[in-house]
Amino acid sequence: MVPWSENRIKWYDRAVKYCGYDDALIKAVGGYLPKDETVCDLGCGTGYLARKLAEIGYSVTAFDKSGITLENLRRIKEEQGLKSLTVTEGSWYDLPEKPLWDNVIMVMAGMLDVDMELFLTLAAKRLIIITKDDDRSHVQANGVSVMKHPEFEQMKKLLQGCDYDTFNLTIQFGQPFLSKEEAKEYFRVFEADTESADSKLNLLEQRDGEYPWYLPNEKNMRVFAVRKKP
Ligand SMILES: C[S@@+](CC[C@H](N)C(=O)[O-])C[C@H]1O[C@@H](n2cnc3c(N)ncnc32)[C@H](O)[C@@H]1O
């Protein structure tokens, strides 16, 4: 994964807001998260989901090992007075292996094939996993490399014996840009290796409004909502 940086956080949070990615995720999985139960967004990245959950009334922990994203999230928490949001920096490998939250949600996070048992242990009631679900699992349409997620069949094996729902989820989650120059910088940061940054500019669509350029990206995902046995 390309390490988090100020630019990456800025682009990511802008894309979340522009596409309503946070709302779309909550619409898809909110039914599994009772409002009076605790939630941990494990491997929260910029914390966009934890933040939105706190805004709509959840008591939520944003957990990640990335100091730079959490520093930004703490600032937003203070600005917005999000009292029900707890921001915790650390590695999940250092957590006590017991249920720490009612619900744990992981979006594109974790080595599921290696650490599924740990993630299942950390949730008292439900573990909601959202993975990528398409055969472009290691290279996005824009040529950006992303981590490989377990295939559906492998996930089914990993969750054997568990009680869970699973379904596909497709959300338009592209990247808006202020200018073509900014888009070039984006391609450079992500080290697109298949073509040069310049040639990638033809992937951009023109839009009205604050962000005149948009890199489309249909994100095909799969949700696994695992219920822990009482
Ligand atoms: C691909 S990003 C996904 C971020 C976010 N959930 C999202 O939807 O954008 C994976 C995140 O997991 C975090 N991470 C990886 N290993 C971790 C660990 N051992 N403990 C805590 N966080 C970890 C990374 O820092 C990164 O922010």
* Ligand 1 nearest atom to the CA of residue 1, by list position: 1
pLDDT at 195 over 70: no
Buried b / exposed e over 200-215, threshold 16 CB at 10 Å, is: beebbeeeeeebebbb
Residue nearest to ligand 1 atom 27, measured at CA: 45
pLDDT digits (tens, 9 = 90+) for 2-24: 789 999 999 999 999 999 999 99
Instruction: Look at the alpha carbons of 54, 20, 69, 122 in this order and tell me if their dihedral is positive or negative.
Output: positive
CATH topology of domain 6-177+219-227: Rossmann fold (3.40.50)
Domain ranges of the chain: 6-177+219-227
Closest CA to 3 of 145, 133, 215, 182: 145
Q: Which residue has the higher pLDDT, 1 or 43?
A: 43
Q: What is the mean pLDDT of residues 60-79?
A: 97
Q: What is the mean pLDDT of residues 166-189?
A: 94
pLDDT digits (tens, 9 = 90+) for 122-160: 999 999 999 988 644 344 444 454 556 678 899 999 999
Alpha carbon separation from 57 to 38, 50, 68 (Å, rounded): 11, 11, 25
Indicate the top mutation candidate among 5, 65, 104, 112 to test ligand 1's pocket, ranked by most ligand atoms within 8 A of CB.
65
Distance (angstroms) between ligand 1 centre and the Cα of 109 equals 5
Q: What is the mean pLDDT of residues 158-180?
A: 97
Q: Which residue has the higher pLDDT, 194 or 188?
A: 188
pLDDT digits (tens, 9 = 90+) for 90-125: 999 999 999 999 999 999 999 999 999 999 999 999
The share of the chain scoring above pLDDT 90, in percent, equals 80
Question: pTM for this one?
Answer: 0.93
Q: What is the pLDDT of residue 188?
A: 85
